[in-house]
Amino acid sequence: MPSVFFTLILGFVLGIKHAFEPDHLIAVSTIVVGQKNPFKSALVGTFWGLGHTTTLLLTGVLVLLLKLSIPPSLSLTFELLVGVMLIILGVRVIVRTRSILHTHQHQHDDLNHQHLHFHEAKSTHRKHHTSFLIGTVHGLAGSGALMLLVLSTIPSLISGIYYILLFGLGSVAGMTIMSFLLGLPFLFSAAKFPEVEKYLRFFAGALSILFGLFWIMLLTFR
């Protein structure tokens, strides 16, 4: 019994660590970009964690009930899907940044000034939906390794479900905190430094594309 308890606690700790993986942070950063409220940014991370946990729970229950094993080829397909998703998210950020960035001319004391403005059209609800979907994809990609650990250490279905839920709770907590921190640069740059915000957006998009390409190459040639 004590070994099961420590395994469950380990699941929570591993869930927090899991949220800090580079592909997770990069993907969520493409959704957080432009969010002026860090608490709303934190919610983006929360929805990522919920999507991630949903996929893991459904997969875990099937594996534990039916004693299934996830084929390596299927796990590789899910991981490759993460790379493709990162590229799409990065391109999307860059394209959207170009489309919502406007230069307005104002007159002050007979002098004309140009100011950069961002007009974000996307609703907060859509950001949450997108983040939830990203989390489900990451959950699929990570399900193989998680299930191996569950099947090798958890003696019963109920304990396995508890493990997955605690792992998911840890990932929700970790990504919520990280999304809050990721949103801070946009809060500080939005009001007085719109040019900096533009570069932050492009950087997030470019990083997502490059990491997605690297991820696919790494999986293809390993």
Q: How does pLDDT run along the chain (222 residues), one tens digit per residue? A: 556 678 778 888 888 988 899 999 999 999 988 777 888 899 999 999 999 999 988 888 887 788 777 788 888 899 999 999 999 999 999 988 766 554 545 454 555 555 544 555 455 667 888 999 999 999 888 765 666 566 666 777 888 888 888 988 999 999 999 999 988 877 776 666 667 778 888 999 999 999 999 999 999 987
CA geometry: angle at 34 spanning 24 and 192, to 5°?
135
- Cβ–Cβ under 8 Å, residues 18 and 104: no
Judge if pTM exceeds 0.75.
yes
Q: What is the pLDDT of residue 187?
A: 74
Q: What is the pLDDT of residue 6?
A: 80
**For the chain, where are the E strands, in sequence order?**
101-108, 111-118
Residues 52, 103: Cα–Cα separation, whole Å: 39
- Domain positions in the chain are 2-221
Q: What is the pLDDT of residue 146?
A: 65
Q: Which two tokens stand for residue 42?
A: 């934190």
Q: What is the pLDDT of residue 211?
A: 97
Q: Distances from the Cα of 155 to the Cαs of 3, 4, 52, in angstroms?
A: 10, 8, 23
Could you give phi then psi for residue 118, rounded to 5 degrees? -110, 130
